[in-house]
């Protein structure tokens, strides 16, 4: 039955062509004199079915069965003989059955019994076993994808704004209304007149560019969904019409420079074999039939942003800071002071540290993200923390398959190591740089996984040496322990590891050889040593390992009869002592009671072990156990210092060895855990690659925490995180340029949302690394302060200019917050105690004194000096001393009383 007023196919094609040219529904309807709803329906059907031909009344293309195909071919082959026609029909019919059974529209609900051993998919929509599909569903190809005949293959990166939208999640099937809303937002004519330098309204101090930057920072920080972002745009335009285009497409265009550069890498749903960016039609390992559309739908992929693109942008901004480490002769400090780094350093190249630890996404499921994060070793530590690179992001159940997960990373590093890449600095000069990976930091579980070694609870489970370990009874079960061996233990080396891996592969052994299970993909990483390249991570083995283990052991009621046991009364005393401590702002978390230690983070365990426990445990633990415990903070104070000499490293190594060696006699052999054993390898890692803070996992764990805040809802999590990460990176990069002439309030608000500066209040710059915070108050110096100036020869010039000074309560000196005693007295933190080159003192007041100059009172005069008036603290003549005869040193020398 023909339809009334049906538009011709040529007219429908013209509508689509105008839409492709960027015209909105209103403009197309006005130009062709067609109702707007008709234009919208035609465009939506073209988007979904890639055709402008007349569709059935059901709204979707007809499903063509085998019999229908045969009958259509009979009708078309009128010029062919009946014999040839029959042959053609038979061939078509047999081909249909050869590809698989005839697939109907409801076959997507079929479950597959052979997918129980699959790696977990990367999307919750495909994670449930009730949604897994059988083999005959995957075998569709080309334009005959039977599992979703009414869905087009959308670019998941382009549609990231739909992720996390509650309307999108609840009504995925009803795409007409959602698409209509999207297209409505794309019709905003103000896009053509957008100018970053233009004020949002006459008389305003805010430009359109500044408002757009603040808007993007707000959306990224709070993880707004598509619906929330759209409503925010409408709200702003209701308050100030035309202040910013209302199109989400416009926001997407300005949110990142990496649009279209993200790579989607696929892996096989059955055997997790790496398929690359083009999965093809069949897996080369298990012969599983594949479809790109199905792999995208069920999220059997992970995302990759090439390092070359990121490095080119990063080096253009920070190239002047490369190699600007602060050094001291004959001392270990940052990565560049390590022996391994210095032996392989090459001019015109940069080296990377990478991390590949997983982080759980939900507390109620096993889904997690596994990013590959990189930092540039040639940058100073502070700059490395600010410029972390994200190469790969995998999301799914459990752990990724290493072969698939690491392949894109290794392939790109092979290219960057051999050929390098070219980039231009800020003045246009071209440079050529090669890139190699030298260090990998991760926890013990991830380390064994990527090395292809046995885990630490198996024989030869240490990835640094050939310690076999011992199985002993612990409680109702058994555990593997690693006590100190009297005859020593040989360290692992790269050539031996390669030989053991070849031995396992060549003889087809079912068991590992000396802890090596087989070849590792990291063997293919250029200039990377699979043994020395892994650095023991003190965050996991010390903070979350040994420290937590022994504190829990002291309060464990199972050991109530032991001498080291601490009672509830001891616990209450320690809780009170901890809560009375006022640490400075450099300690990220204020102390919490030991009763809440189950919720402590790694930073809190580190602060307890190094700063609090040497003081509060002195009269609580029995003397022999306290002396044993002090070996640990004594060693870590050296390994975490700014600089350490070779002699200091040797002393720290002896402390750690003694700590581990005394555990069996004091606590029992069963408590000599793998984390305790790794302590003995810390100093070797320091000699190779610098002090512990230089290769800490803290910076990567902090980045993982930020990544977990970059999504909303439960759909397309990896896509949301990837998009928001690079949007955030562009926002930070553009902030200084766009807001250069903006007001202080706008800059402070931007910094607070972008977290690009620790202090965002009004600043008053006194020197290069010295600023005051807040508004000062005018006063005159007291006689006591004037007398102090007279005694100080370097500040004698101040006295004639001290009729009126400006007093401040707080300042920041070299990224350290310093406050007066009056300001710190009422707070949980105390930043008033400082250490100078000659003494330890308490800051009583901070005043700014004008310098003698010839500025003649100009308002822009900056000739002034910040003076600290302090009260010196006198050290007691008797300092804490704990002499260890075996080490021949005072292990309490870091304490000051």
CB 90 within 8 A of CB 120: no
Confidence of residue 858 (pLDDT cuts 50, 70, 90): low
- Give me the mean pLDDT over the 728-736 stretch: 77
Please tell me the predicted confidence (pLDDT) of residue 800.
61
Residue 105 DSSP symbol: G
CB 656 within 8 A of CB 299: no
- Whether 658 shows a pLDDT value over 70: the answer reads yes
- What is the total residue count of the chain? 897
- Give me the mean pLDDT over the 530-543 stretch: 95
What is d(CA 496, CA 507) in angstroms, rounded to the nearest whole number?
Answer: 16
Pairing of strands 349-355, 430-440: parallel
CB 470 within 8 A of CB 484: no
Which range is least confidently modeled, 383-392, 618-627, 663-672, 801-810? 801-810
Residue 263 host element (H or E): strand 263-267
Q: Which residue has the higher pLDDT, 463 or 488?
A: 463
Closest CA to 594 of 636, 562, 560, 548: 548
Provide the β-strand partners of residue 833: 842
- What are the DSSP E strand ranges found in 388-462? 389-397, 421-424, 430-440
Q: Considering the chain, what percentage of its residues have pLDDT values greater than 90?
A: 43
Which range is least confidently modeled, 17-26, 602-611, 631-640? 17-26
- Token reading at 224: 């707004």
- Give me the mean pLDDT over the 50-73 stretch: 56
CB 676 within 8 A of CB 649: no
What is d(CA 557, CA 566) in angstroms, rounded to the nearest whole number?
Answer: 9
What is d(CA 83, CA 517) in angstroms, rounded to the nearest whole number?
Answer: 63
Which range is least confidently modeled, 77-86, 759-768, 810-819? 77-86
Tell me the CA distances in angstroms from 401 to 396, 485, 660, one per residue in order.
11, 35, 35
Confidence of residue 601 (pLDDT cuts 50, 70, 90): very high
Tell me the CA distances in angstroms from 341 to 165, 417, 680, 683, 686, one per residue in order.
48, 16, 21, 15, 11
Please tell me the predicted confidence (pLDDT) of residue 158.
37
What is d(CA 621, CA 562) in angstroms, rounded to the nearest whole number?
Answer: 12
**Residue 258 contacts by C-beta under 8 Å, 6 or more apart in sequence?**
305, 309, 726
Please tell me the predicted confidence (pLDDT) of residue 257.
64
Provide the β-strand partners of residue 481: 470
Distance between the two ends of the chain, CA-based, in angstroms? 98
Please tell me the predicted confidence (pLDDT) of residue 451.
95
- Give me the mean pLDDT over the 618-640 stretch: 95
What is d(CA 41, CA 149) in angstroms, rounded to the nearest whole number?
Answer: 19
Confidence of residue 825 (pLDDT cuts 50, 70, 90): low
- Give me the mean pLDDT over the 48-73 stretch: 58
- Dihedral over Cα of 440, 446, 451, 455: its sign: positive
- Whether 271 shows a pLDDT value over 50: the answer reads yes
**Residue 422 contacts by C-beta under 8 Å, 6 or more apart in sequence?**
430, 431, 432, 433
Q: Which residue has the higher pLDDT, 646 or 510?
A: 646
Per the prediction, the chain carries an average pLDDT of 80
pLDDT digits (tens, 9 = 90+) for 672-687: 999 999 999 999 999 9
What is d(CA 785, CA 787) in angstroms, rounded to the nearest whole number?
Answer: 5
- Give me the mean pLDDT over the 638-657 stretch: 95
Provide the β-strand partners of residue 864: 850
Angle between helices 226-239 and 208-222 (to 10 degrees): 150
Spell out the alpha helix ranges (H) of 291-338. 292-297, 307-318
Q: Which residue has the higher pLDDT, 353 or 245?
A: 353
Please tell me the predicted confidence (pLDDT) of residue 94.
38
- Give me the mean pLDDT over the 656-673 stretch: 96
What is d(CA 702, CA 386) in angstroms, rounded to the nearest whole number?
Answer: 11
- Whether 288 shows a pLDDT value over 60: the answer reads yes
Please tell me the predicted confidence (pLDDT) of residue 198.
82
- Give me the mean pLDDT over the 466-481 stretch: 93
Please tell me the predicted confidence (pLDDT) of residue 432.
94
Please tell me the predicted confidence (pLDDT) of residue 857.
58
What is d(CA 668, CA 201) in angstroms, rounded to the nearest whole number?
Answer: 75
pLDDT digits (tens, 9 = 90+) for 356-411: 998 998 877 888 999 999 999 999 999 999 899 999 999 988 889 999 999 999 99
Which range is least confidently modeled, 127-136, 339-348, 472-481, 686-695? 127-136
Please tell me the predicted confidence (pLDDT) of residue 99.
38
Burial class (CB in 10 A: 0-12, 13-18, 19+), 411: middle
DSSP symbols for 146-198: GGGTT-----TTTTGGGTT-HHHHH-SS-HHHHHHHHHHHTT-GGGGG--TTS
Please tell me the predicted confidence (pLDDT) of residue 609.
96
Q: Which residue has the higher pLDDT, 365 or 66?
A: 365
The tally of CA atoms less than 13 A away on the side-chain side of residue 656 is 25
pLDDT digits (tens, 9 = 90+) for 492-531: 999 999 999 999 988 766 788 999 999 999 999 999 999 9
Provide the β-strand partners of residue 352: 376, 437
Please tell me the predicted confidence (pLDDT) of residue 860.
58
Confidence of residue 566 (pLDDT cuts 50, 70, 90): very high
pLDDT digits (tens, 9 = 90+) for 117-152: 333 433 433 343 333 333 333 333 333 333 333 333
Spell out the alpha helix ranges (H) of 442-583. 444-451, 494-506, 538, 548-555, 568-579
Confidence of residue 330 (pLDDT cuts 50, 70, 90): confident
- Whether 540 shows a pLDDT value over 90: the answer reads yes
Burial class (CB in 10 A: 0-12, 13-18, 19+), 273: middle
- Give 378-386 contacts, CB < 8 A, sequence gap 24+: 378/322, 378/323, 378/336, 378/350, 378/351, 379/318, 379/321, 379/322, 380/321, 380/324, 380/325, 380/326, 380/334, 381/334, 381/693, 381/694, 382/815, 383/318, 383/321, 384/699, 385/699, 385/702
- Whether 172 shows a pLDDT value over 90: the answer reads no
Closest CA to 167 of 817, 733, 713, 547: 713
Q: ∠ CA 563-568-571 to the nearest 5 degrees?
A: 90
pLDDT digits (tens, 9 = 90+) for 150-168: 333 344 443 443 344 433 3
**Residue 301 contacts by C-beta under 8 Å, 6 or more apart in sequence?**
122, 264, 265, 266, 267, 295
At which residue do the structure tokens 């939506």 appear?
Answer: 44
Which range is least confidently modeled, 3-7, 34-38, 600-604? 3-7
Q: Which residue has the higher pLDDT, 792 or 835?
A: 835
Q: What is the pTM of this model?
A: 0.76
Q: Which residue has the higher pLDDT, 184 or 575?
A: 575
Q: Considering the chain, what percentage of its residues have pLDDT values greater than 70?
A: 79
């Amino acid at each position: 039955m023909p339809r009334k007023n049906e538009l011709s196919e040529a007219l429908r094609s013209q509508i689509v062509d105008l839409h492709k040219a960027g015209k909105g529904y209103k403009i197309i309807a006005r130009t062709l004199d067609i109702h707007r709803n008709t234009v919208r329906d035609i465009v939506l059907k073209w988007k979904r079915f890639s055709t402008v031909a007349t569709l059935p009344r059901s709204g979707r293309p007809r499903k063509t069965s085998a019999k229908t195909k045969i009958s259509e071919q009979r009708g078309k082959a009128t010029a062919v003989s009946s014999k040839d026609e029959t042959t053609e029909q038979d061939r078509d019919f047999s081909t249909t059955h050869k590809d698989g059974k005839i697939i109907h529209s409801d076959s997507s609900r079929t479950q597959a019994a052979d997918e129980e051993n699959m790696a977990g998919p990367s999307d919750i929509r495909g994670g449930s076993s009730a949604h897994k599909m059988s083999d005959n569903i995957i075998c569709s190809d080309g334009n005959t994808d039977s599992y979703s005949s009414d869905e087009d293959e959308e670019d998941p990166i382009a549609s990231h704004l739909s992720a996390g939208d509650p309307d999108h999640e609840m009504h995925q099937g009803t795409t007409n209304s959602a698409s209509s809303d999207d297209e409505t937002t794309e019709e905003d004519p103000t896009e053509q007149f957008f100018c970053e330098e233009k004020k949002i309204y006459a008389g305003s101090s805010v430009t359109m560019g500044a408002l757009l930057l603040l808007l993007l920072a707000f959306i990224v920080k709070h993880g707004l969904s598509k619906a929330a972002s759209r409503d925010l745009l409408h709200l702003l335009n209701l308050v100030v019409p035309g202040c910013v285009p209302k199109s989400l497409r416009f926001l997407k265009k300005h949110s990142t420079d990496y649009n279209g550069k993200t790579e989607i890498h696929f892996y096989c749903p059955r055997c997790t074999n790496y398929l690359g960016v083009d999965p093809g039609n069949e897996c080369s390992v298990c012969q599983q039939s594949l479809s790109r559309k199905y792999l995208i739908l069920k999220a059997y992929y992970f995302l990759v942003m090439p390092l070359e693109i990121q490095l080119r942008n990063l080096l253009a901004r920070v190239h002047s800071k490369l190699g600007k480490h602060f050094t001291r002769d004959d001392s270990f400090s940052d990565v560049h002071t390590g022996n391994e780094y210095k032996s392989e350093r090459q001019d015109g190249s940069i080296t990377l540290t990478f991390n590949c630890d997983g982080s759980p996404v939900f507390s109620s499921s096993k889904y997690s993200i596994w990013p590959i994060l990189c930092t540039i070793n040639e940058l100073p530590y502070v700059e490395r923390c600010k410029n972390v690179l994200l190469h790969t992001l995998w999301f799914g159940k459990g752990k990724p398959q290493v072969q698939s997960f690491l392949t894109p990373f290794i392939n790109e590093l092979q290219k960057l190591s051999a050929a390098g890449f070219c980039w231009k600095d800020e003045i246009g000069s071209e440079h050529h740089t090669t890139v190699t990976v030298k260090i990998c930091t991760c926890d013990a579980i991830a380390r064994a996984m990527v090395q292809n070694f046995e885990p630490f609870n198996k024989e030869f489970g240490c990835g640094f040496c050939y310690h076999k370990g011992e199985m002993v009874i612990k409680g109702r079960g058994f555990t593997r322990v690693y006590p100190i061996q009297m005859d020593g233990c040989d360290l692992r080396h790269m050539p031996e590891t390669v030989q053991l891996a070849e031995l396992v592969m060549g003889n087809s052994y079912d068991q590992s050889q000396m802890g090596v299970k087989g070849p590792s993909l990291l063997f293919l990483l250029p200039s990377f040593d699979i043994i020395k390249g892994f650095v023991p991570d003190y965050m996991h083995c010390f903070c979350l390992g040994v420290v937590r283990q022994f504190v829990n052991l002291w309060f464990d009621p199972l050991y109530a009869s032991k001498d080291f046991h601490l009672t509830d009364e001891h616990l209450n005393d320690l809780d009170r002592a901890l809560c009375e401590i006022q640490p400075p702002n450099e300690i990220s978390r204020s102390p919490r009671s030991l009763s809440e230690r189950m919720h402590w983070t790694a930073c809190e365990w580190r602060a307890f072990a190094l700063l609090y426990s040497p003081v509060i445990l002195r009269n609580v633990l029995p003397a022999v156990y306290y002396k044993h415990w002090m070996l640990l903070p004594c060693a870590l104070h050296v390994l975490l210092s700014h600089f350490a000499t070779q002699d200091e490293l040797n002393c720290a190594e002896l402390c750690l060895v003694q700590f581990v060696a005394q555990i069996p006699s004091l606590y029992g052999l069963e408590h000599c855990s793998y984390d305790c054993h790794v302590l003995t390898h810390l100093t070797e890692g320091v000699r190779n690659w610098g002090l512990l803070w230089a290769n800490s996992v803290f910076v990567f764990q902090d980045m993982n925490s930020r990544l977990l805040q970059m999504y909303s809802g439960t759909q397309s999590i990896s896509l949301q995180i990837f998009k928001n990460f690079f949007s955030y990176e562009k926002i930070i990069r553009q902030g200084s340029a766009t807001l250069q002439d903006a007001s202080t309030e706008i800059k402070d608000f931007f910094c607070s949302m972008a977290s690009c500066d620790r202090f965002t209040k009004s600043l008053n710059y006194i020197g290069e690394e010295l600023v005051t915070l807040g508004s000062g108050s005018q006063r005159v110096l007291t006689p006591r302060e004037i007398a102090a100036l007279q005694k100080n020869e370097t500040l004698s010039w101040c006295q004639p200019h001290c009729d009126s000074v400006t007093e401040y309560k707080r300042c920041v000196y070299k990224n350290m917050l310093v406050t007066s005693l009056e300001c710190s007295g009422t707070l949980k933190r105390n930043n008033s105690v400082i250490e100078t080159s000659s003494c330890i003192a308490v800051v009583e007041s901070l005043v700014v004194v004008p310098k003698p100059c010839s500025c003649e009172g100009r308002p822009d005069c900056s000739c002034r000096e910040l003076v600290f008036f302090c009260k010196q603290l006198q050290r007691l003549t008797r300092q804490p001393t704990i002499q260890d005869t075996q080490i021949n040193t005072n292990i309490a020398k870091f304490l000051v009383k």
